[in-house]
């Protein structure tokens, strides 16, 4: 730990690979498992995560932006399908097609522009279409989708590889929205397949996989569950945790009199308390909203965070440790197998996704392979 004075973030690629196999195993026969690696694989490092998934047989990767796709293409060549979830930048269609990236198109205008590129060039230019099945975010609305279905010349000129939609409430299995979106998507899929046989259908994110086989279609698109976030709200997490974050302690002190701790003097501690100030604060993704509620972990036990989280440091009450434990203590874990991303997210009033994608860049990163 002494070598990692800015903190040590360990990312377990074996656990990510195991999570991939676990999810792939849950899929209906004939459905294949892709992987969402947007936002630098949810903050864990696309360059390291993609080969670990590739080694398990994953060939369908989903990214958010064209630049993420270009980077993935230049690192991993032509053997993988790369789908861009947020479309194509206007004017960048040719670049995107040349790189063999598959944009997810969700307006008629985007689709027409893309097809023009296909017609002008000899490029294969595969694309994906996205319908809004009820989430009301990105996607073709029902009227726009019907217009596309009616435009036979447009459909014939296009090379549509996949039809996607995204679930709004998949982490709540009982939510009626799931059934509604499922039937809307099924209907859209059948219509498009009637005109363009062979296109692949994709609906399920991580949580969608747990809704049952009807939701799996041809390709699943899990992201968060690969990285250890619990896919089903309120149920024991079936996924393996993938990250451990250790912060070095930069000061330990005995506070002899009752004192308030940190900015705003928001929290009082009694005289005789032992405090440890650890290197790592909200600039490193330790969310300020955890202040006064969050936990650290050492010697197999939780330790309360005290006062507000600062930009570069966080203070813990280590009075609960024995003298020897306290004296030998050099670091505090703030994410590990016991203190999970979901628990930390709870203290910060957010979701595990945001905890992962906020992890800072000052930590030393270690990738564990076995
Ligand atoms: C991010 C994203 C996913 C992955 O979702 P998880 O909940 O992380 O599994 C799948 N599909 C789309 C369209 C997304 O934007």
Please identify, by atom number, the ligand 1 atom nearest to the C-alpha of residue 205.
9
Please identify, by atom number, the ligand 1 atom nearest to the C-alpha of residue 104.
13
Among candidates 95, 82, 88, 96, which has minimal Cα distance to 54?
Answer: 82
Among candidates 217, 364, 218, which has minimal Cα distance to 280?
Answer: 364
Q: Taking all residues of the chain, what is their mean pLDDT, rounded to a whole number?
A: 95
70-94: average pLDDT: 92
pLDDT in tens, 15-38: 999 999 999 999 999 999 999 999
Q: Is 263 considered catalytic here?
A: yes
pLDDT of 3: 57
37-63: average pLDDT: 97
* SS3 assignment, position 256: coil
Q: Using the mean position of ligand 1's atoms as its centre, give its distance from the Cα of residue 203 in Å.
A: 10
306-327: average pLDDT: 96
Strand partners for 244: 10
Please identify, by atom number, the ligand 1 atom nearest to the C-alpha of residue 166.
13
Q: Using the mean position of ligand 1's atoms as its centre, give its distance from the Cα of residue 324 in Å.
A: 46
Residue 210 near residue 167, CB atoms below 8 Å: no
Domain 13-227 has CATH 3.40.50.720: no
pLDDT of 232: 94
Checking if the pLDDT of 2 tops 60, the result is no
Distance CA 338, CA 217 (A): 34
3.30.70.20, 3.30.930.10, 2.40.50.140, 2.40.37.10: which CATH number matches 243-339?
2.40.37.10
* Ligand 1 neighbourhood includes 85 CB (under 6 angstroms): yes
Please identify, by atom number, the ligand 1 atom nearest to the C-alpha of residue 138.
13
Q: Using the mean position of ligand 1's atoms as its centre, give its distance from the Cα of residue 4 in Å.
A: 33
Checking if the pLDDT of 205 tops 60, the result is yes
Distance CA 100, CA 69 (A): 9
pLDDT in tens, 170-201: 999 999 999 999 999 999 999 999 999 999 99
Residue 128 near residue 163, CB atoms below 8 Å: yes
Residue 75's φ and ψ, nearest 5 degrees, are -85, -30
Q: Using the mean position of ligand 1's atoms as its centre, give its distance from the Cα of residue 56 in Å.
A: 20
Q: What is the end-to-end Cα distance of the chain in Å, rounded?
A: 20
* Ligand 1 neighbourhood includes 202 CB (under 6 angstroms): no
pLDDT in tens, 298-316: 999 999 999 999 999 999 9
Distance CA 222, CA 23 (A): 8
Among candidates 367, 369, 365, which has minimal Cα distance to 4?
Answer: 365
Checking if the pLDDT of 1 tops 80, the result is no
pLDDT of 222: 98
pLDDT of 5: 79
Which residue in 54, 150, 252, 263 is the catalytic one?
263
pLDDT of 340: 97
* Ligand 1 neighbourhood includes 161 CB (under 6 angstroms): no
Do the first three CATH levels of 13-227 and 243-339 match, i.e. the same topology?
Answer: no
The angle, 0 to 180 degrees and rounded to 10, between the axes of the packed helices 142-150 and 176-195 is 10
Rg (CA), the chain: 24
Among candidates 291, 289, 299, which has minimal Cα distance to 321?
Answer: 299
193-220: average pLDDT: 97
Checking if the pLDDT of 319 tops 70, the result is yes
Distance CA 20, CA 106 (A): 28
For residues 258, 264, 267, 273, the Cα torsion angle rounded to the nearest 10 degrees is: -40
Tell me which H or E stretch contains 146.
helix 142-150
Band of pLDDT at residue 117, cut at 50, 70 and 90: confident
pLDDT of 75: 87
Which residue in 4, 20, 38, 227 is the catalytic one?
38
197-222: average pLDDT: 98
Please identify, by atom number, the ligand 1 atom nearest to the C-alpha of residue 36.
4
- Residue to substitute in 24, 64, 69, 85 for testing ligand 1 pocket (most ligand atoms within 8 angstroms of CB): 85
Among candidates 206, 306, 223, which has minimal Cα distance to 263?
Answer: 306
pLDDT of 120: 87
Residue 16 near residue 53, CB atoms below 8 Å: yes
Domain borders along the chain are: 13-227, 243-339
- Residue to substitute in 86, 171, 205, 356 for testing ligand 1 pocket (most ligand atoms within 8 angstroms of CB): 205
* Ligand 1 neighbourhood includes 43 CB (under 6 angstroms): no
Residue 62 near residue 35, CB atoms below 8 Å: yes
Q: Is 150 considered catalytic here?
A: no
* Ligand 1 neighbourhood includes 36 CB (under 6 angstroms): yes
Was 311 annotated as part of a binding site? Answer: yes
């Amino acid at each position: 730990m002494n070598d990692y004075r800015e903190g040590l973030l360990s990312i377990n690629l074996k656990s990510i690979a195991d999570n991939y196999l676990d999810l792939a195993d849950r899929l209906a026969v004939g459905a294949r498992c892709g992987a969402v690696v947007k936002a630098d694989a949810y903050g864990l490092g696309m360059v390291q995560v993609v080969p670990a998934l590739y080694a398990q047989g994953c060939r369908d990767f989903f990214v958010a932006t064209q630049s993420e796709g270009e980077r993935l293409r230049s690192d991993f060549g032509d053997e993988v399908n790369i789908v861009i979830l947020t479309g194509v930048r206007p004017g960048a269609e040719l670049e995107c097609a040349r790189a063999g990236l598959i944009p997810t198109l969700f307006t008629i205008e985007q689709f027409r522009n893309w097809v023009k590129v296909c017609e002008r060039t000899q490029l294969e230019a595969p694309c994906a279409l996205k319908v809004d099945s009820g989430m009301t975010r990105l996607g073709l609305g029902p009227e726009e989708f019907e217009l596309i279905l009616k435009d036979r010349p447009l459909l014939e000129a296009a090379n549509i590889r996949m039809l996607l939609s995204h679930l709004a409430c998949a982490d709540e299995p009982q939510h009626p929205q799931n059934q509604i979106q499922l039937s809307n998507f099924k209907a859209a899929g059948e219509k498009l397949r009637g005109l363009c046989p062979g296109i692949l259908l994709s609906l399920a994110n991580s949580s969608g996989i747990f809704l049952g086989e009807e939701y799996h279609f041809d390709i699943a698109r899990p992201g968060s569950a690969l990285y250890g976030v619990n896919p089903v709200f309120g149920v024991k997490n079936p996924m393996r945790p993938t990250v451990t974050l250790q912060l070095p302690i930069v000061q330990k002190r005995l506070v002899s009199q009752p004192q308030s701790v940190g900015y705003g003097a928001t929290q009082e501690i009694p005289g005789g308390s032992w405090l440890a100030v650890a290197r790592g604060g909200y600039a490193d993704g330790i969310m300020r909203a955890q202040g006064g509620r969050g936990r650290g972990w050492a010697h197999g036990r939780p330790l309360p965070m005290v006062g507000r989280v600062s930009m570069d440091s966080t203070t813990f009450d280590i009075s609960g440790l024995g003298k020897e434990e306290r004296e030998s203590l050099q670091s505090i874990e703030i994410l590990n197998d016991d203190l999970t991303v979901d628990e930390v997210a709870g203290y910060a009033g957010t979701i595990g996704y945001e905890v992962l994608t906020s992890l800072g860049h000052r930590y030393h990163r270690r990738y564990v392979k076995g």
